[in-house]
Structure 1
């Protein structure tokens, strides 16, 4: 609306001239206004003095301001209801909300930011960060192959390929690509005091042995004999079959000793196959000490239990086996990958075979360890409780 060139005081003065006896036409001609304007003023300001006119003007201004504030509040309420169901936690979500309000309600950027509670600098920000498309693509490929690997092991594999990147940036890319490994729930375990396990100081000092169980796709069950070197963490053997007796375990150990050398000790649980006469006879004949853990204490055989968890998580739970041949082929491929490629966090992210090469200078060219009988230290026998420990006394006693 075009503002009037006369103030309220001037308008009331013009009306007073007409009330004093001057003709309306003369008053309009004198002040350069039309008769319609004069009568409009008379309807609005007739009978008022200057103070009343000022009060009326202030009331009109305040009323207009209240109407404007009410309209803005109603508009803000409508905009908030429109975006009320959307979460605006990240700056990207706030940018989308501001853009939606500007288009839907035809408001300014400042108004939309005020309604959303966003900073205009954050809304106007445009990222200059590179998209790292090649790294993302390779990360997705490795994650598709290594489905149970987290970002730390994937970082090691990328670094081996020459892709150098900060681990925090790789974790961000890993999270943005939604490659997080879903944790599988485990059963609750009792808590209590646990004695630390004595670590071996070299290869072939102690082997761990255990059985795993799984099923074919048709429901038939099979078992896997797993043998691990506790020092190098190397998987020495994975033997699958529908049944594994004590005699079969002894034969597999004989074949392994022929290729690798005799261990000083073997640790296992109290399974029926491992406590039978076949294993006891084999232990006496080969002079290999066999240690049984306490019943119900798998943590005393922690190395093989940890290995079993990795094997089940990365292979058994990810594969449907059709036959025993399929199982043997898959286990052979996984064992080779585990020993030569897969990084092991307890070994400084080195594969077990690489760690064994650094720990044993007499490594053969075919990748197998060569140890003489004397290279594996004999276990230290505890002192006798009664009598003498001298060799001569023991010989006489028989």
Structure 2
């Protein structure tokens, strides 16, 4: 089947001149249209558009019409591109993976072409069409990605640095920290944790620097509850220098006398008392029972009221205990809480790697540690 014949501007002018000659010869419009091989409607439209023009003018008019049509299409594409940019303008789109997802979203929701969507987000069409190597069997990091996903599933609040430390020290896998960071981000394993704004404050009492083991032990309480709504009180103590967790008390209530007994057991278990116990102004800590127990044995350093940042090491430990243990469990009984929290503190001592300790565990760091305390101006807190 023959395609539709398209007449150039020159052909139209020639046919109109021939139509005038036929009209002068007495032919009807239908006869003229038949001889010119066009419809009567087409001949009428040609007369409206081109009648009285020469060939050059008709050609110029047709070119102007074509240019006008192109401009309209460009304007429509530009408006559509603006709509696409507004649709995908939630923050900056930086990585190719993010841009690829943005293109998919625009194609799916706005029904725009892939060409226009790629132009809107600034992604080359060849890049969009190419399958990322991470999604192919040829990915050289497939095994490492699996390990990272398993680690994140087991420790959902850990970051890539602790995952890297696990790979380097526990799995004996030599891998660059930057590569772990890249894979961690590509797998979407980042977890945003809210950190409240830190306020500056100066303690009203002298502070002792924990520059060696058994210099400053910090204490604090936390509260949780079993599923029946009854309170669970947790007492923790750590060595600020080695980060070792030294004491674990999980009870419904911990009166001052019970606290004193447990502190005495902790002193015996860890080879004697430290130089200083650092704590807040809780009722158990300012009790006469604790004061009498510590007299002439160990110094007590109370932080200023309302300044928990002055006891930052135990606050950090409690924060980790809260997010990684307490918030992830529902206690059916006090015994269950005791067992799980004790296991968490043992895991903290023997498997949790601290960046401040050179990615050693507290137990690994404390074993060979030979630091000695250097008093400031020869004075210690009493």
Say whether the fold is shared (TM-score over 0.5).
yes
| Equivalent position of 2:220 in the other structure | 210
User: In the superposition, relative to structure 1, how do residues 191 and 50 fare at CA in structure 2: closer, same or farther (>3 Å)?
Assistant: same
| Equivalent position of 1:170 in the other structure | 180
Contact 2:118–2:124 (Cα < 8 Å) also in 1:
yes
CA separation in 1, counterparts of 2:238 and 2:116?
Answer: 67
Contact 1:8–1:54 (Cα < 8 Å) also in 2:
no
- In the alignment, structure 1 residue 279 sits paired with structure 2 residue 322: no
Deviation for aligned residue 1:99 = 6.6
Relative contact order, CA 8 A, sep 6+: which one is greater?
A: 2
CA separation in 1, counterparts of 2:270 and 2:243?
Answer: 15
Deviation for aligned residue 1:54 = 2.6
| Equivalent position of 1:127 in the other structure | 132
- Equivalent runs, 1:1-398 vs 2, <5 Å: 1=5, 36-37=35-36, 52-67=54-69, 69-70=71-72, 72-73=73-74, 76=77, 86-87=87-88, 89=93, 90-93=98-101, 95-96=103-104, 119-129=124-134, 130=139, 132-159=141-168, 160-184=170-194, 186=196, 190-193=199-202, 197-262=207-272, 263-284=274-295, 287-360=297-370, 382=379
Tell me which structure has the larger Cα radius of gyration. Answer: 1
- Structure 2: 5+ residue runs without aligned partners? 28-32
CA separation in 1, counterparts of 2:118 and 2:242?
Answer: 60
CA separation in 2, counterparts of 1:120 and 1:296?
Answer: 58
CA separation in 2, counterparts of 1:143 and 1:38?
Answer: 76
Deviation for aligned residue 1:206 = 2.3
Deviation for aligned residue 1:201 = 3.0
The aligned length equals: 352
Q: Report the more deviating stretch, 324-333 or 199-208.
A: 199-208
CA separation in 1, counterparts of 2:319 and 2:164?
Answer: 22
Deviation for aligned residue 1:211 = 2.0
Give me the CA root mean square deviation: 4.5
Contact 1:79–1:115 (Cα < 8 Å) also in 2:
no
Deviation for aligned residue 1:232 = 0.9
Deviations 1:175-212 (A, max 9, x none): 343333242465x6654456894422322222222222
Contact 2:81–2:116 (Cα < 8 Å) also in 1:
no
Q: Report the more deviating stretch, 268-277 or 145-154.
A: 268-277
Deviation for aligned residue 1:134 = 2.8
- Secondary structure in structure 2 of the residue aligned to 1:225: strand
Deviations 1:311-353 (A, max 9, x none): 2222122221122211210121111100010011221221111
- Structure 1: 5+ residue runs without aligned partners? 25-33, 362-374, 384-398
Q: Report the more deviating stretch, 137-146 or 113-122.
A: 113-122
